[in-house]
Each structure stands twice: as structure tokens, then as C-alpha cells.
């Protein structure tokens, strides 16, 4: 079996195991969305995922994909990333992929989303907690700026 396929299968299984361990059902739609997320590179939008799910599982309706993404994000299996001025994007949560969670930056010019180290904003998180009693949740929002290629 190809290494990428093996990693995808492992990611799907970890995500499904996480659902089961928390007492949630593994529905056909949940399996289809998780499988699509494991096979798509980058940070796809709900529309892109809907198209991928349709290719893999033609009977799963687009509205079901959107509802399932919301549910999986609430359950912590999927991470939503809100990109300023555009659609929300998604990826499997770190414990499903076997990688650490990460932060995101979005280029205002080309729209590319860049993965950043998860601890990058730790000093800011601590300062906000200490001075403003505010708990920052940075993995769900993309920092906005201009990538090297567009500068």
C-alpha cells in the first residue's frame, strides 16, 4: 500500500475512533466527510469538500456535508479555520492526522493558506489571559498578511 494511502487510512481510522470513544455514532455521512478530508490536500472549503464527497459517495447530499462538517467541528474531529473575507476552510484535527495542531496565515493577495507552528502565539495567549481574562483560540482563525511570493 502506498505511504500516502496508508496515512489517509490511518487518519480516517483515528478520527472514527475518536468519535466512538466519545460515544458518538459513525454515520455514513460522517465517514464520507472524514474520508474526503483525509484525501484532500490543504484547507478545503465546504463546497470543495462537498465535491470530493460526491466523487467518493454520490448518495451523500451537499446539505448533509455542510451539517456534518459543523457537527464534526463541534465534536473536535475537524478544525474550522475562518479566513477573513472568504469561506471557512476545514481540516482534520491534529489527533486524527497524527500531527500537532497548527496555526494558519492567509495571504490577502493569492489566498494561499500557510501552516504555522502551534506555539507561535503562546506569549500573546498568556498575556491576554493574564491581563484581560480572555482565552484565545488561535487555530480557528487565520492571520492575514502577504506571503513571500506576493510581496
Q: Is residue 93 part of a domain?
A: no
**DSSP-assigned letter for residue 143:** E
Q: Produce one character per residue of 19-37: b if its CB has 16 or more CB atoms within 10 Å, e if not.
A: beeeeeeeeebbbbbbbbb
For the stretch 12-41, pLDDT in tens is 999 999 899 989 999 999 999 999 999 888
pLDDT at 86: 67
Asked whether residue 89 is assigned to any structural domain, the reply reads: no
Residue 80 has pLDDT above 60, yes or no: yes
Residue 91 inside a domain? The answer is: no
124 found inside a domain: yes
Query: Do residue 5 and residue 48 come from a single domain?
Result: yes
What ranges in 26-105 are assigned the alpha helix state H? 28-39, 46-56, 62-74, 94-97
107 annotated ligand binder: yes
27 is in an annotated binding site: no
> Per-residue pLDDT for 66 more than 70?
yes
pTM of the full structure: 0.81
What does the block give as the cell for 92? 482534520
Is 29 part of any domain?
A: yes
| pLDDT value for 1 | 36
Q: Structural domain of residue 126, as residue ranges?
A: 100-151
Amino acid at each position: 500500500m502506498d505511504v500516502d494511502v496508508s496515512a489517509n487510512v490511518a487518519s480516517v481510522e483515528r478520527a472514527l475512533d475518536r468519535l466512538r470513544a466519545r460515544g458518538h455514532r459513525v454515520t455514513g455521512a460522517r465517514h464520507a466527510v472524514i474520508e474526503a478530508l483525509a484525501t484532500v490536500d490543504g484547507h478545503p472549503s465546504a463546497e470543495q469538500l462537498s465535491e470530493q464527497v460526491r466523487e467518493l459517495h454520490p448518495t451523500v447530499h451537499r446539505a448533509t456535508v455542510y451539517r456534518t462538517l459543523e457537527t464534526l467541528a463541534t465534536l473536535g474531529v475537524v478544525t474550522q479555520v475562518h479566513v477573513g473575507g472568504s469561506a471557512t476552510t476545514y481540516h482534520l484535527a491534529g489527533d486524527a492526522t497524527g500531527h500537532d495542531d497548527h496555526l494558519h496565515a492567509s495571504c490577502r493577495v493569492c489566498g494561499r493558506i500557510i501552516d504555522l507552528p502551534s506555539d507561535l502565539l503562546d506569549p500573546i495567549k498568556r498575556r491576554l489571559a493574564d491581563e484581560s481574562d480572555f482565552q484565545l483560540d488561535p487555530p480557528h482563525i487565520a492571520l492575514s498578511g502577504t506571503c513571500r511570493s506576493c510581496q
